[in-house]
């Protein structure tokens, strides 16, 4: 029996996923929670075989949680659930220790397959992205220009960068990521430093153009 935990801040989605998994042979959801902190507390009491993690969690996000769990519980199989396109976050998720990445729109018909394949030691990714992402894992990071330097941003910095690229202001970003405007300004300064941007205006123009070219 494969014991599974679900970490997602939407109760209805969690219950739907539980219903699908509990109907499958040799699978059972043994725990569920809505935040990274709750997930970490659960691991101290009972470590399951497999965990589904929503990428957009309050506080510590799904990729950061994956990295923490992979470092502290290396035998735990991790699969990311996300509303975000795989081309944006999948490589970061895999580098953080996840073995799979599923779009939430497709979760219903794929979660059981993901559990089986990942439990067998395989990666579960969209076929068109699998070769590219696995190639990235085997290639040392090289940053030759500003666009490549985007990949040097931390996971949270990257989230803020994408929000800037969507034209969002500090209040909207704060609501989206559950962080304060003051913290957002700190992230912006760090991003400007890493990308060698002179000010927020330059960062905004670059982020919008980067998103247009890459997403």
CA distances (Å), origin 94, targets 9, 90, 129, 147 = 21, 6, 12, 21
Of 116, 138, 160, which residue sits at a domain end?
138
Confirm if 17 and 107 have CB atoms less than 8 A apart: yes
Are residue 24 and residue 70 in the same domain, yes or no? yes
**Do 16 and 122 belong together in one domain?**
yes
Give me the pLDDT at residue 153, please.
Answer: 87
* 3-class DSSP assignment, residue 148: helix
pTM: 0.76
Identify whether the C-beta of residue 73 lies closer than 8 Å to the C-beta of residue 46. no
- Token readout for 133 is 């992402």
State residue 56's pLDDT score.
82
- Tokens encoding 191: 């991003």
Mark whether 93 and 183 lie in a shared domain.
no
Measured CA to CA, the distance from residue 77 to residue 134 in angstroms comes to 17
Are residue 123 and residue 62 in the same domain, yes or no?
A: yes
Q: 100 and 163 in one domain?
A: no
Cα–Cα distance measured from residue 36 to residue 6, given in angstroms and rounded to the nearest whole number: 11
Q: Are residues 12 and 96 in the same domain?
A: yes
126 and 189 fall within a common domain: no
Q: Pick the last residue of a domain from 138, 158, 177.
A: 138
Tens-level pLDDT at each residue, the chain (215 residues): 999 999 999 999 999 999 999 999 899 999 999 999 999 999 999 999 999 999 888 778 898 899 999 999 999 999 999 887 666 778 888 888 999 999 888 777 789 999 999 999 999 987 766 776 666 665 555 444 555 678 788 888 888 998 898 899 999 888 878 888 889 999 999 999 998 888 899 999 998 888 777 65
User: Where in the sequence is the domain holding 64, given as residue range(s)?
Assistant: 2-138
- pLDDT score, position 38: 95
Specify the number of domains making up the chain: 2
Cβ-contact 187, 158 below 8 angstroms: no
pLDDT reported for residue 138: 58
Question: Is there a single domain that holds both residue 64 and residue 23?
Answer: yes
Q: If we measure between CA atoms, which residue out of 172, 7, 167 comes closest to residue 79?
A: 7
Q: Are residues 134 and 150 in the same domain?
A: no
* Sequence-ordered strand ranges (E) for the chain: 2-7, 27-33, 50-54, 77-82, 100-103
Question: What CATH number does residue 22 fall under?
Answer: 3.40.50.2300
Domain check: are 130 and 156 in the same one?
no
Give the C-alpha separation, 215 to 208, whole Å: 10
- The pLDDT value given to residue 46: 92
**CATH code of residue 168:** 1.10.10.10
Q: Are residues 89 and 181 in the same domain?
A: no
- Do the bridges between strand 2-7 and strand 50-54 make them parallel or antiparallel, or are there none, so unpaired? parallel
Check: CB of residue 143 under 8 Å from CB of residue 152.
yes
Identify the CA nearest to 191 among candidates 144, 155, 215: 155
Q: Are 99 and 118 in contact (CB under 8 A)?
A: yes
Task: Write down the pLDDT at residue 152.
Answer: 81
Question: 99 and 81 in one domain?
Answer: yes
pLDDT at 215: 55
The pLDDT value given to residue 154: 85
Q: What is the DSSP letter of 106?
A: G
Domain end marker among 87, 105, 138: 138
Residue 109: what pLDDT?
Answer: 75
């Amino acid at each position: 029996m494969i014991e599974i935990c679900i970490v997602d801040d939407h109760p209805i989605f969690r219950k739907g996923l539980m219903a699908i998994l509990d109907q499958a042979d040799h699978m059972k959801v043994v725990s569920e929670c809505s935040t990274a902190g709750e997930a970490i507390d659960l691991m101290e009491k009972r470590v399951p075989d497999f965990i589904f993690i929503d990428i957009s969690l309050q506080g510590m996000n799904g990729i950061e949680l994956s990295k923490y769990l992979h470092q502290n519980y290396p035998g735990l199989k991790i699969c990311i659930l996300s509303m975000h396109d795989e081309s944006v976050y999948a490589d970061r998720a895999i580098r953080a220790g996840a073995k799979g990445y599923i779009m939430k729109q497709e979760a219903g018909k794929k979660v059981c397959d993901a559990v089986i394949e990942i439990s067998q030691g395989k990666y579960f990714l969209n076929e068109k992205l699998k070769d590219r992402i696995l190639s990235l894992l085997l290639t040392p990071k090289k940053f030759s220009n500003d666009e490549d330097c985007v990949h040097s941003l931390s996971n949270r910095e990257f989230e803020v960068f994408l929000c800037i690229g969507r034209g969002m202001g500090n209040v909207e970003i704060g609501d989206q990521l559950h962080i304060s405007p003051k913290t957002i300004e700190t992230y912006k300064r760090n991003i400007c430093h890493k990308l060698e941007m002179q000010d927020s205006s330059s960062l905004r123009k670059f982020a919008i153009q980067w998103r247009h070219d890459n997403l």
